[in-house]
Amino acid sequence: MVTASEADAILKSYFTIANNSNNEFESTWDEATQTMLVKGNLTLVRKTPKLPLSFSEVDGEVRLSRSGLTTLEGCPRKIKGNFLINHCSITTLKGGPETVDGYYDACNNQLVSLEGMAQDIGGQVILIKNNLPNLIGCPDWVGDDMSIVNNPLTSLEGFPSKVVAWIYVSYTPTLPLLRLLGALHVELIVDREYGGSETRAKLQQIMNDYRWIGRGRAGAWDCRQALKKAGFEGNAKW
């Protein structure tokens, strides 16, 4: 059993707390649940594979970037700000927050799955440079841009039903693209080995021509045929 004074000492040793947008700056330890509630922006400043305390809620931003974390166990359930866990060594998002009011940045990790990802995210979702084969576990709604560039995706299964802004995806000749028709704005990143800007222009034109908005699911069939006709048969899949 960790006492309030012990928890406070651990907090000060591993973290800094700065004023949040409401100019709040305080922490409260609940001995019954052994969790910390923080009002302020929380930043992990020491290298550690695991959080030394468990948090219930942070009313502000949580920065755990470049900390050496290998697990999200102990993360707050609710974060009323941004959540940054980039450039660590995590392979799973299990144990992470359930709700993030701001953006969610888990780029440059070793994620092999999105299982455990927050299902309520108000801002951008950044998953660049991971090892994701698909998007199973992704929230159904994303409140801003979403970037899944530089992942070895073989499927877009789990793709959100709505991304409010742009979706950025790395192109490969075998990546099924039809799920992207439901997105408002799509930016395909095409390497030179796959034809670069010329391939990108052709694909973007086809995808834009058969956008679901105002066309219904029939657009998916028409897009499939257009992709095949243009030589992108490997992408003409759901």
Structure confidence at residue 24 (pLDDT): 67
Mean pLDDT score of the chain = 94
Who has greater pLDDT, 90 or 162?
A: 90
Q: Does 8 reside within a domain?
A: yes
Domain count, the chain: 1
Residue 170 pLDDT greater than 80, yes or no: yes
Task: Give whole-number Cα distances, 57 to 105, 130, 143, 169, in Å.
Answer: 18, 27, 21, 32
Q: Does 77 reside within a domain?
A: yes
Q: Does 170 reside within a domain?
A: no
Handedness of CA 181, 186, 191, 196 (dihedral sign): positive
The arithmetic mean of pLDDT across residues 109-115, rounded, is 98
The arithmetic mean of pLDDT across residues 165-177, rounded, is 96
Structure confidence at residue 40 (pLDDT): 94
Q: Does 160 reside within a domain?
A: no
pLDDT 10s digits, 179-237: 998 888 899 999 999 999 999 999 999 998 887 665 656 778 999 999 999 999 999 99
The strand pair at 15-18 and 41-44 is best described as antiparallel
Q: Does 147 reside within a domain?
A: no
Structure confidence at residue 95 (pLDDT): 97
Structural domain that includes position 60: 4-123
Q: Does 129 reside within a domain?
A: no
pLDDT 10s digits, 1-42: 999 999 999 999 999 999 877 776 899 999 999 999 999 999
Lowest mean per-residue pLDDT among 113-122, 133-142, 161-170: 161-170
DSSP string, 59-78: ES-EE-TTS--S--TT--SE
Q: Does 196 reside within a domain?
A: no
Residue 142 pLDDT greater than 60, yes or no: yes
Structure confidence at residue 162 (pLDDT): 84
Separation of alpha carbons 78 and 97, rounded Å: 6
The arithmetic mean of pLDDT across residues 45-74, rounded, is 97
Structure confidence at residue 22 (pLDDT): 75
Helix (H) or strand (E) holding 92: none
Q: Does 14 reside within a domain?
A: yes
DSSP 178: G
Helices 196-209/218-229 angle, 10° precision = 150
Structure confidence at residue 96 (pLDDT): 98
CB 153 within 8 Å of CB 131: no
- Record the tokens describing residue 202, joined without a space: 């052709």
DSSP 20: -
Helix (H) or strand (E) holding 35: strand 35-39
